[in-house]
Structure 1
């Protein structure tokens, strides 16, 4: 599917028209640069929670995730203990998956353990899509994984991050603007 005009006449990536939540996310966040370690940690965490679920489920629970995970402040999340884990497992506002909860807490600790001078933003920038990559014409032109996302996943895992396979790594690169997969003709890509 190529870019599709919405009710307002603006052409968008087809998935963005599935709901108002998707439209807002597409128009204001997806594929736009994300700045700051906490903001990137939030995106990494939400992508991990999305694994095996639809993104709309995570998007609609986003505020509950933010409240449950201390605004995704990596320092605060890294300090979570068994009591916090039990609190999260009882929180009906979020996805209550023990492995994913443990991964987010562990990922906060892995982020804080990066050597001085390294950052999540620096790691992601190292796996940015090659320059000159043509705009995808249809959704079928957008890969689920790339050599860069496979290498990023391997690098993150080596550093102690979890729930960061190649598909999740690619979704993270897309969501945070390190890859521009807005379709040709999409107003966001061209705006």
Structure 2
């Protein structure tokens, strides 16, 4: 970087560790639409509840291994023995309620699929008309009317650990909203939102 080049602007949380910076620069806010991918993100956000995202990110590969690649059909069939296996796995967050919720949520996704719906479509159907335009970290929302509606819709379908704050974190992570700071080099990275928070007209094809 030359003397005339400014350092990239990132959210404060993205500067806490190199793994967070990499995640921010390459993945956070990019569109995720496949069923397994959305389920994985929903699961990780649920496990993050009450903890730091850094803790979850450092254990991400362990989660993928422990939950067998987040295969929905496999997780939905987990037995008490699988729960005990996961509770003994030091590589993940050993929280019985969250583990049981993951199994329950996998079953809920399969029920959605059987009814001709999908988790991905349900989440993305709560895309707002406009995305936030935060200039500072303090201006980044933690909930929205859409995240509250999504949480309610998911709970109605049997999902657990899907509160409005957790769902807003999910929506932010997979590009449903763009909460990158307006000055960030990652603002608009999803291709779905303009810098001013208006939707990109061609976003349906992204």
Common fold, TM-score beyond 0.5?
yes
- Residues 1:98 and 2:91 aligned together: no
Aligned counterparts of 2:29 and 2:78: Cα–Cα separation in 1: 30
Q: Please tell me whether the aligned partners of residues 108 and 157 of structure 2 are also in contact (alpha carbons under 8 angstroms).
A: yes
Q: Which residue is 2:204 aligned to?
A: none
Tell me the CA shift for residue 169 of structure 1. 0.7
> In structure 2, how many angstroms separate the alpha carbons of the residues matched to 1:163 and 1:37?
18
> 1:102, CA displacement in angstroms?
0.2
* Residues 71-150 of structure 1 aligned to structure 2 (within 5 Å): 71-114=69-112, 115-131=114-130, 133-150=131-148
Alpha-carbon shift at residue 120 of structure 1 (Å): 1.0
Contact 2:134 / 2:182 at 8 angstroms: preserved in 1? Answer: yes
Find the aligned partners of 1:51 and 1:130 in 2 and give their Cα distance. 27
Q: CA RMSD in A?
A: 1.3
Distance in 2, Cα, partners of 1:123 & 1:71: 22
- Structure 1: gaps (5+ residues): 1-7
**Alpha-carbon displacement from aligned partner over 1:2-61 (angstroms, at most 9, x marks no partner):** xxxxxx932222221111011011011111101311111100000000000011000000
Alignment size in residue pairs: 183
Distance 1:161 1:52 in 2: 18
Shift in Å at residue 190 of structure 1?
4.6
Kindly indicate whether the alpha-carbon contact (under 8 Å) linking 2:132 and 2:178 is maintained by their aligned counterparts in 1: no
Which residue of the other structure, out of 169, 182, 185, is the alignment partner of 1:171? Answer: 169
Task: Give runs of ≥4 in structure 1 deviating > 6 Å.
Answer: none
Alignment-derived partner of residue 21 in structure 1: 19
Structure with the greater relative contact order (CA < 8 A, sep ≥ 6): 1 or 2?
A: 1
Q: 3-state SS of the aligned residue for 1:136?
A: coil
Q: In structure 1, what is the equivalent of residue 195 of structure 2?
A: none
Q: Which residue of 2 aligns with 1:4?
A: none
The secondary structure found in structure 2 opposite 1:12 is coil
The aligned residue for residue 37 of structure 1 is 35
Describe the shift of the 1:106–1:35 C-alpha distance in structure 2 as closer, same or farther (beyond 3 A).
same
